[in-house]
Chain A
Amino acid sequence: MSGGNGGSTQGSGSPGLSAVDRFALLPQEMEDGGGSWLEISMGPQHPSTHGVFRMDVVLEGETVVKLKPVFGYLHRNHEKIAEGTSYLSSMPYTDRLDYFCSLTNNWAYALAVETLVGLQVPERAEYLRVITAELTRLQNHTCLAGFLMQDMGASGTPLMYGFREREFILDLFESLTGARMMCNYMRFGGCRCDTPAGWLDQVRTVVTDYPQFLDEFENLLTGNEILMSRTQGVGVLTKELAVNASISGPCLRAAGVDYDLRKVDGYGIYPRFPFRVPLGDHGDTYDRYMLRILEMRESLKILEQALKEIPEGPVIDPKAKLRGFRPKPGEAYGRIEGPKGELGFYLISDGGANPYRYRVRPPSLINLTVLEDLCLGHNVADTVIILGSIDIVLGEVDR
Chain B
Amino acid sequence: MLGVGILKGLAETGRNFVGSYFDPKRMVTVEYPEQRLPLKENSRQFPFLVFDGDEAAIGLRCVACQICEKECPPQCIYIEKSKDKKPDHLGKPQYYPAVFDIDTSVCMSCQICVEVCPFDAIKMDNQYELSTTDRFGGLLLNRDQLTKPNGYFQTLHPTDASEIDTRREEERVKAAAKARADAEAKAASAAKPKVAATGTTTVNNAPGVAS
Q: For the complex formed, measure the closest distance between the CB of B11 and the CB atoms of chain A, giving whole angstroms.
A: 8
With A89-B73, A223-B5 given, is the CB distance from A196 to B110 under 8 Å? no
Give the segment of A30-38, A213-221, A336-344, A383-391 that binds chain B. Answer: A213-221
Contact with B along A159-200 (1 / 0, CB 8 A): 001001001000100111111001010000000110010000
Q: Which residues of A contact B72 (CB under 8 A)?
A: 89
Inter-chain contacts of A227 with B (CB < 8 A): 5
- A196 adjacent to B41 (CB under 8 Å): yes
Residue in contact with A90 in the complex, picked from B8, B25, B73, CB distance below 8 Å: B73
Is A232 an interface position by the 8 A CB rule? Answer: no
Q: Does A73 contact B (CB under 8 A)?
A: no
Contact of A272 with B by CB under 8 A: no
A89 and B16 contacting across the interface, CB-CB below 8 Å: no
Complex CA–CA separation, A223 to B11 (angstroms): 13
- Within 8 Å of chain A (Cβ to Cβ): is B82? no
A161 contacts B16, C-beta separation under 8 Å: yes
Tell me the chain B residues, 1-59 only, with Cβ under 8 Å from chain A. 2-6, 8-9, 11-13, 15-16, 25-26, 28, 40-44
- Closest Cβ of chain B: how far from A139's Cβ, in Å? 15
Given A92-B108, A174-B42, A226-B6, A85-B12 contact (CB < 8 Å): no
Q: A164-B28, A196-B41 are in contact. Are A178 and B8 (CB under 8 A)?
A: no
B-chain residues with CB within 8 Å of residue A184 when the two chains form the complex:
110-112
Cα A222 to Cα B44 with chains together (Å): 39
Q: A89-B73, A174-B42 are in contact. Are A219 and B112 (CB under 8 A)?
A: no
Specify which chain A residues have a CB less than 8 angstroms from the CB of B16 in the assembled complex: 161, 216
Decide: A175 and B41 in contact? CB cutoff 8 A: yes
Contacts of B42 in A (CB 8 A): 174-178, 193, 196
Residues facing A in B45-93 (CB within 8 A) are: 67, 71-73
Please give me the residue from chain B that is nearest to A177 by CB atom. Answer: B42
B124 within 8 A of A: yes
Instruction: Check if B115 is an interface residue, CB within 8 A of chain A.
Output: yes
Known: A176-B42, A178-B124. A192 touches B28 (CB 8 A): no
What chain B residues lie within 8 Å of A179 (beta carbons)? 43-44, 109
